[in-house]
Amino acid sequence: MRRDLSNAIAAALDRSARAVQPLHGGCVGEVYRITLDDDTRIVAKVDDLGRLCCEGDMLRYLAAHSTLPVPAVLHSSPQLLLMEFVEGESHFNRAAERHAAELLAALHGIHAPAFGFETSTLIGGLHQPNPWNTSWLEFFREQRLLHMGGEALRAGRMPQRLYARLEKFAGRLDKWLSEPEHPSLIHGDVWTTNVLAHNGRITGFIDPAVYYAHPEIELAFTTLFGTFGSAFFERYRELRPLKPGFFEERRDIYNLYPLLVHVRLFGGGYATSVDQTLNRFGY
């Protein structure tokens, strides 16, 4: 693998790799830190399933349309993605959390005429459809809850009865959710290992799953696995106030989507979490 990777890097960049070190990666491909012949460090992702053009396109889109710090893309092909190496770790002090809030608030200030994206994207290596829709509730119901629930059902990781309950709940979203003023650009997968910080500043957001959405779905996901704490939300609300009821109800509804992603990928206890959320809302 390392010899093949070194050859691929040489062909893509016309430079040779002096050292190849495996890194902890996400759901798409294997990840390596590469030291080039001039001591420049880059990151390489390799995916035999050929899904890496999408990631490269999303990083380029964020770089071109926002101020969110993302690694520069040096080369992108279906099976090989080469990126700038970004210094940082996934540990956030209060200053880093406040900086993250400022960056995401600015990202959420970027608007589009409709919800969705110009192409389908990926979330955890899974297909994420983004057909344009002027209704957020319809988009969230059809392209997030029912799409991913259906994928989990077809994979045998969600019981038919649980999917039927999800379907009924999705038909009544207007009881708790409302249309936002604008569709906002979101990173789409902000959890701890996809954010890097150094000396109290965020240095990079990686592994995006971008689309235009209600920004609350992004904020909700940061609470699901404890990405950020109170300092993040204190600063975010100074910049973009949240309507009442987000922490009490709406974040749990929005977190059904990442839970369904995890049901599709892993099954098990994540289906129990979906069951508990539906029970809470009377379904």
Domain boundaries, the chain: 2-84, 94-280
pTM of the model as a whole: 0.95
85 within 8 A of 43, measured Cβ to Cβ:
yes
Alpha-helix residue ranges (DSSP H) falling in the chain: 2-13, 52-65, 94-108, 136-139, 147-154, 160-170, 215-224, 230-239, 251-254, 256-266, 269-280
pLDDT of residue 61 exceeding 90, the answer is yes
What is the model's pLDDT at position 25?
A: 63
Per residue in 21-30, pLDDT (tens digit) is 998 766 677 9
Asked if 115 and 211 count as a contact pair (C-beta separation under 8 A), the reply is yes
- With a cut of 60, say whether residue 240 has pLDDT above it: yes
Burial pattern 166-202, b for ≥16 Cβ within 10 A else e, equals beebbeebeeebeebebbbbbbbbbbeebbbbeeeeb
The whole-number average pLDDT for the span 98-126 is: 97
The reported pLDDT for the residue numbered 48 is 87
pLDDT > 70? residue 77: yes
How far from each other are the two terminal CA atoms of the chain, in whole angstroms? 49
Evaluate whether the domain defined by 94-280 bears CATH number 3.90.1200.10: yes
Give CA–CA dist 59/208, Å, rounded: 7
For the chain, percent of residues with pLDDT exceeding 70: 98
Say what the pLDDT of residue 50 is.
Answer: 87
Fold of 2-84: Phosphorylase Kinase; domain 1 (3.30.200)
Return the pLDDT at 26.
62
